[in-house]
Amino acid sequence: MKDMKKIFYIAVAVVLAACANDDTVLDMKGMFSPQGETVNVRFQQSKTYNDSVGDIHLNMQADDYVIYVCTDSHITKKAHRNLDYFVAQYDAANGPKMALHLGDLIDAQKNYACADSILHIGTRTQADTLFITPGNHDIYFKQWSVYRSFFKSSAYWFDTRNGNKKLDLFICLDSAEGSLGTEQTKWLKDLLAEKSQEGYRHIIVFTHTHLWKLDSSQGHTSNYALEETYELTYTLAKYGVEYVWSGHQHARQHVTFQGVQYMVLDATKDDEKGQHYMTVAMGDEINYAYFAYPQL
C-alpha cells in the first residue's frame, strides 16, 4: 500500500512538474487546447519575416566547415552550465563554423533573458551564426511572442556557400507542438521540390520533435501522429534529404529509413545522464562526433 501511495505521489509530481512554470502555475489547459499561437499562425508570421529579410546564404569561404549541434538545454537562471560550455567550445573553435540548437533552449517561462546573455543572439555575425528551432518548452505557456522577439522565425531555410559555389541546404522546421501543420507541410514540399534540383551537396533538415519512438526513454513526450510520420518520411526521402537532426527525446538515436538518416541527440540539460553535444565535419562526406559535457 505504501508503494501504491508512493507511485501515486510520483505520478502527481511528474504531471505537476510537466505543467508548472517558474512561478509554479499549473497549466493543464495546454493538454487539451492550444494556449498560444498554433503552428499555422507561427509559420505565417515566420514566413512574413523571412520574406522581409530575404534568403540567407552563409559564405563559409571554404568547402569544408564544422557545425556545432546541441539540443534540449532547458536552461533556467540557475542551471545553464552545459550551454555555457557548448558556447565556449564553439567560440574557441577555429575555421569556418556555425552552430545549431535543436530546441528546448529554455525550461520554462522567464528564461529567455538568460539565454540571450549566453548566446549573444543579437551580436553574432553572418559567418558566426547560431540557428535555432523551437521546442515545446520554448513556446508553450504563451511564450511564442518572446521567442519571436529573439529569434524572429521558427521555420526557414538557408544555405552555405563558398563564394558563388553552393554547398549545403539547411531547412529548419517548427515541430514545437508535435505537428508541422498544413501550411508548413505544403511549404516544405514546395521548397524541397524546388531546391532538390539546384545541385546542393547535402540537404539537412533540423527540427525539435523526433519521428520514431524506438523506446520510452523520452518519458511523457509525444511524437507526430502516424499519418504525419508516414507523409513526412516519404517527403524527405523523395527529395533526397540526407540527414534529419532532432532532439526532444533526451537520448541518442540513429535510424536510417528510406535512405534518410534520422539522428536524435542527447540533451544538453545540466545534471542529466549522458549529456553530449555533436560536431559535424561538413565536406563531400559528413562525419560526426559526440562530445560529453564535463561532469562536476
Partner 1 sequence: MKKYLCSLFCVLGAVGMLAAEPGFGTREYRLTVMGEYSYNKTWGHHGNLDVQSLLPFNDYFEMEAKVQLSSANVYSGALQFRPKFELPVGEMFIETDLYYRAVVRNQLGDLTAALGVGYRMDYVSVTLGMYGRVFDDWKRDWHTNDTYVVEPFNLLYRVEVFCRPQDTNWNLSFLFSNIDDYQMERMWQPLFGVGAWCDLGDNWRLVFGAQCKPTGMFHLDATFYGATFRTGFTYRF
Interface with partner 1 (CB under 8 A): 3-4, 18-19, 27, 30-36, 38-39, 136, 139-141, 176-179, 181-182, 185, 209, 212-216, 220-231, 233-234, 255-260
* Shortest CB 137 distance to partner 1, Å: 9
Given the complex with partner 1, which of 87 and 188 has the nearer CB atom?
A: 188
Given the complex with partner 1, which of 140 and 277 has the nearer CB atom?
A: 140
Given the complex with partner 1, which of 2 and 123 has the nearer CB atom?
A: 2
Given the complex with partner 1, which of 213 and 276 has the nearer CB atom?
A: 213
Given the complex with partner 1, which of 177 and 270 has the nearer CB atom?
A: 177
* Shortest CB 29 distance to partner 1, Å: 9
How many whole angstroms separate alpha carbon 216 and alpha carbon 170?
Answer: 29
* Shortest CB 197 distance to partner 1, Å: 21
SS (H, E, C) 46-90: HHHHHHHHCCEEEECCCCCEEEEEECCCCECCCCCHHHHHHHHHH
* Shortest CB 14 distance to partner 1, Å: 11
* Sign of the torsion formed by the C-alpha atoms of 61, 241, 290 and 133: positive
Cα separation values, 41 from 48, 55, 147, Å: 11, 21, 14
Given the complex with partner 1, which of 1 and 296 has the nearer CB atom?
A: 1
* Shortest CB 31 distance to partner 1, Å: 5
* Shortest CB 17 distance to partner 1, Å: 11
* Shortest CB 12 distance to partner 1, Å: 16
How many whole angstroms separate alpha carbon 281 and alpha carbon 12?
Answer: 44
* Shortest CB 296 distance to partner 1, Å: 30
Given the complex with partner 1, which of 52 and 256 has the nearer CB atom?
A: 256
Given the complex with partner 1, which of 90 and 144 has the nearer CB atom?
A: 144
